[in-house]
Amino acid sequence: MSKFQRFLLKRLAISVLLTLVAVSVIFVVLRLLPGSPFEALVTSGNLNQEQIDEIRAMYGLDQSIWKQYINYLGSLLTFQFGYSILRSQPVWEVLEPRLINSLILLVPALVTTAILSSVLGMYAGWNRGSRLEKASIVSTTLLRSTPVFITAIFFIIVFAYNLEIVPALGMRSIRATPDGYLETFVSLDFLHHYLLPFTVAVLYYSGDFLLLARNGVVEKRGSEFLKLHRAKGLTEMEQLARAGRNSMLPILTYFTLRLGMIFQGLILLEVVFSWPGIGRELVLAIQQQDYPLVQAAVFIMALAVIIANLAADVLYAYFDPTVSTNGGGSA
């Protein structure tokens, strides 16, 4: 087994362990929440005790907590999320389209901002002290420190209500009845709805990448190897590219981690824009104490984080020739 394989195996094992822990935590926390999804139905008097017991049995809620836990583990880990209590629909059928909706908004936004802001950040760092550098730092810091829903509302007021360039809410107009993803996403109407939340997401993420890239380049700027590159006759831009390549690792790692946290980060954004994504769905499900739905949504989010962490480690090891892949054993 090569060093790298060993490293990979170790990281995988850690990830599996983490997933188990995360899943268990979700289980415990949900059971600790006060009330149950049926209480509302019971207090409204629509169901009698017998019916309740029946339903509880149907959802397996009458079994011992251990039994429930085992069943729960079994089904989650095989991606059988069960039925949504309130929607009477398989959970996955509820979540799948919303997951896609979220991804279609957030992944392109994250990629765009990662590329644009990093390049801008590198350029700013190279021209340290220039007006561009100062302006970019001030504006991104401002954007980063403002809560995303405020930026979002501000954009809605300006571009949707005042200028009326784009619609304020939703993903498609109410009248649209698209069939299948292709029809949903490949349409001008969608693009129209897409622009505003996309822009806000791009701006929201830009600060971290910009600062990370700028700091990386500033730190590399006076280094000896760049002097040698300069002596070799590389142009300014080629030198900047080398400085950039040398500060890529933290950016790459950060990108991967951000990708994992993509759903959590912008739940509020989805809520403000009424974007039918997984974040907004989670908020609704929590309000309605729809256990299976919440469980599944949280599980998917946790899994994304864990997988992203794994990917970040592996990418790091792959891209940094100096990182030791034997798990830091050779101290």
Partner 1 sequence: MTLLNVENLKVTYATDDETVHAVNDVSFSIDEGVNYGLAGESGSGKSTVAEALLGLLPGNGTVERGTIEFNGTDLTSLSEAERRDVLWEDIAYIPQSAMDSLDPVMSTGDQIAQAIHTHRNVTDAKARDRVRELFEIVGLDPDRIDNYPHEFSGGMRQRVTIAMALALEPDLIIADEPTTGLDVIVQDKIIDKILEIQERMDSSLLLITHEIGVIAETCDDLSILYGGKVMEQGSVDNVLVNPTNPYTMGLKNSFPEIDENEDPVAIPGSPPNLNREPTACVFEDRCPFATDECGESHPDLVDLPNRNHRSACHRVKEAAQLRRDADEPETWNIPDDGDADSDRGEVILETDALEKHYEQSQPLLSKLRGEDPDYVKAVDGVSLSVRRSEVLGVAGESGCGKSTLGETMALLEDPTGGDFMFDGEPYEYYRDGNLQEFRRKVQIIFQDPFDSLNPRQTVRKLVGEPLTIHDYRTDEKERAIVETLEKVGLTPAEKFLDQYPHELSGGQRQRVAVAKALVLDPDFLICDEPASMLDVSLKVNLLNLLRGLADAEDIGIVYISHDLASLMQVSDRLAIMYLGRVIEEGDVDRIASQPRHPYTSSLLSAAPEKDPTADRTRVLLEGEPPDPVDLPSGCAFAPRCPKAQGSCWEAEPAIDEIGDETHRAACYFPKGEEGLNASDASAVDETKFPESANTDSVGD
* β-bridge mates for residue 282, sequence order: none
How many Cβ atoms sit within 10 Å of the Cβ of residue 19? 18
What is the rounded distance in angstroms from the CA atom of residue 50 to the CA atom of residue 289? 21
Residue 124, CA distances (Å) to 114, 211, 239, 240, 253 in order? 15, 9, 14, 11, 21
Interface segment toward partner 1; rule CB under 8 A; list 77-85, 112-120, 160-168, 240-248: 240-248
Helix (H, G, I), strand (E, B) or coil at 296: helix
Residue from 235, 266, 271, 275 binding partner 1 (CB under 8 A): 235
Identity of the residue, 182 or 231, whose beta carbon is nearer to partner 1 in the bound complex: 231
- Is residue 6 near partner 1 by the rule CB under 8 A? yes
**242 is a contact residue toward partner 1 (CB under 8 A):** yes
Q: In the range 170-229, which residues lie near partner 1 by CB under 8 A?
A: 222-225, 227-229
**Site for partner 1, residues 248 to 267, rule: CB under 8 A:** 248
Contact with partner 1 (CB under 8 A) among 233, 284, 293, 311:
233
In 3D space, the residue among 229, 255, 251, 254 whose CA is nearest the CA of residue 241 turns out to be: 229
Tell the smallest beta-carbon distance from residue 252 to partner 1 (Å): 12
What does the radius of gyration of the chain's CA atoms come to, in whole angstroms? Answer: 24
Query: Which residue number, 180 or 233, has a Cβ lying nearer to partner 1?
Result: 233
**Helices assigned H by DSSP within the chain:** 3-32, 39-43, 49-58, 65-77, 91-126, 131-145, 148-155, 180-185, 188-221, 224-231, 236-246, 248-260, 262-265, 267-272, 278-287, 291-319
Q: Is 331 in the site for partner 1 (CB under 8 A)?
A: yes
326 forms part of the interface with partner 1 (CB under 8 A): yes
162 binding partner 1? (CB under 8 A) = no
- Under the binding rule (CB under 8 A), the answer on residue 245 touching partner 1 is yes
Answer yes or no whether residue 321 interacts with partner 1 by CB under 8 A. yes
Minimum CB distance to partner 1, residue 90 (Å): 42
* 319 lies in the site for partner 1, by CB under 8 A: yes
Instruction: Note the residues at the interface with partner 1 (CB under 8 A).
Output: 6, 222-225, 227-236, 238, 242, 245-246, 248, 319-322, 326, 329-331
